Amino acid sequence: MHTPVIGITVDNQANDAGSGIYESAIRYSSAVARAGGLPVLLPQEVGLAAQLVRLCDGLLLTGGADPVMEQFGCATDGRARRIDQRRQAFELALLREVDACRGSALNPADDLPVLGVCLGMQLMALYHGGTLDQYMPESMGEDDAAVHVDNARHTLRFGQGDSVLSQGTGEVVSSHRQRVTDAGRLRVVARAEDGTIEAIDDPDRGFYVGVQWHPERAEGTDDDPLNQGLIKQLVEAAGL
């Protein structure tokens, strides 16, 4: 029986040699393995994006620092924790390749399943023409923004009955200072109680979902649709 291969993006931290070091929170690969998938960490090689997409049955775009916004038509806020540009270029290349493979003979079964987490969701929204609030403590106030940082827990409201997240219950774990304000060509399917966009999807694809929270950090059961259950849905979609 084929084990679905789930490509997981990694972070890139600077080191003394100036070349950078790949890093990945173990919880991502552990959650994929627990869900029955084969986790594979993806190197940030833009020129190999097409081959890596074709190697994988599904993609998990992980959390990280803040997007650099100039390529999306606006200045990057001076308070942003800028993502390494190699990582941003690579993950956008992955999304382009996913689009390029839709309906092709290289992926005959269905669209390649994609799950974006935190930064991953933000890059998905930006790629599809969306926008970001680059500093929530200023736009919301420090106290209200605190609901979303340092692994804070909060509940959600759902808005689309046909989404894979429409039946979610319980709490989620968040850690972010930026948020999506417009999902572009994607659809908003969940919000926090304060109105913050918490999940987006493409209803025309089998599984193409971004969530602002960190499902890999929660301690939910395997059938918890907001956390481990969401990663299980990604693996199941990748196995079709």
Residue 47 CA to residue 69 CA, distance in Å, equals 22
pLDDT digits (tens, 9 = 90+) for 197-217: 999 999 999 999 999 999 999
- Please say whether the beta carbons of 92 and 116 come within 8 A: no
pLDDT digits (tens, 9 = 90+) for 171-183: 899 999 999 999 9
- Please say whether the beta carbons of 95 and 130 come within 8 A: no
Tokens of 85: 């540009």
**Average model confidence (pLDDT) for the chain?**
92
Residue 160 CA to residue 191 CA, distance in Å, equals 11
pLDDT digits (tens, 9 = 90+) for 31-43: 999 999 999 999 9
| Torsion 225-229-231-232 (CA) sign | negative
- Per DSSP, the residues of 39-95 read EEEEP--GGGHHHHHHH-SEEEE---SBPP-GGGTSPPPTTS-BPPHHHHHHHHHHH
Which domains does the chain possess? 5-238 (3.40.50.880)
Tokens of 212: 């602002």
Asked whether residue 20 carries a pLDDT value surpassing 70, the answer given is: yes
pLDDT at 18 (0 to 100) = 67
Tokens of 78: 């001076």
Residue 179 CA to residue 158 CA, distance in Å, equals 17
pLDDT digits (tens, 9 = 90+) for 131-160: 999 999 999 999 999 999 999 999 998 887
pLDDT at 108 (0 to 100) = 43
Range scoring the smallest mean pLDDT among 16-25, 51-60, 64-73, 174-183? 16-25
| 83 vs 106, more confident | 83
Hey, what amino acid is at 17? A
pLDDT at 109 (0 to 100) = 45
Q: How many residues are given for the chain?
A: 240
The angle formed by the CA atoms of residues 172, 173 and 179, to the nearest 5 degrees, is 95
Asked whether residue 105 carries a pLDDT value surpassing 70, the answer given is: no
pLDDT digits (tens, 9 = 90+) for 62-85: 999 999 999 999 999 999 999 999
Asked whether residue 106 carries a pLDDT value surpassing 70, the answer given is: no
Provide the pLDDT confidence category of residue 162 given band limits of 50, 70 and 90.
Answer: confident
Residue 90 CA to residue 199 CA, distance in Å, equals 22
pTM of this structure: 0.94
Residue 118 CA to residue 183 CA, distance in Å, equals 13
